[in-house]
Amino acid sequence: MLCCAQRYSCAVEDLIFSGSVRSVVNACVHRCVNDNQLQIVGLLQECIMIRDGKAHLPDAFTVSDISDIVLYLCTF
């Protein structure tokens, strides 16, 4: 719990009594990440789902293309 509190810049009590660890993490993300970064993460999530076969696109991109996009977004 202490490690999580330090990572997310909150008190241990926040993690225990907030009712939701997710709300504590979300608050940290919104403090530490800008809108552009959130958009990149959303695109990355969609590309990973496509790459892993959990979502599909028209045949415009190959699996290799999607893997290249994932790699690019991860190093952007």
Q: With a cut of 90, say whether residue 3 has pLDDT above it.
A: no
Please spell the DSSP secondary structure of 5-74, one letter per residue.
Answer: HHHTT--HHHHHHSS-HHHHHHHHHHHH--HHHHHHHHHHHHHHHHHTTSS---TTS-HHHHHHHHHHHH
Q: Rounded to whole angstroms, how far apart are CA atoms 52 and 46? A: 10
pLDDT of residue 17: 82
What pLDDT was estimated at residue 4?
A: 81
> Which pLDDT score, from 0 to 100, does residue 76 have?
74
pLDDT given at position 44: 93
Structure confidence by residue, pLDDT tens digits, 6-57: 887 788 888 888 777 788 888 887 888 888 888 998 999 999 998 898 988 7
Mean pLDDT, range 57-66, rounded to an integer: 83
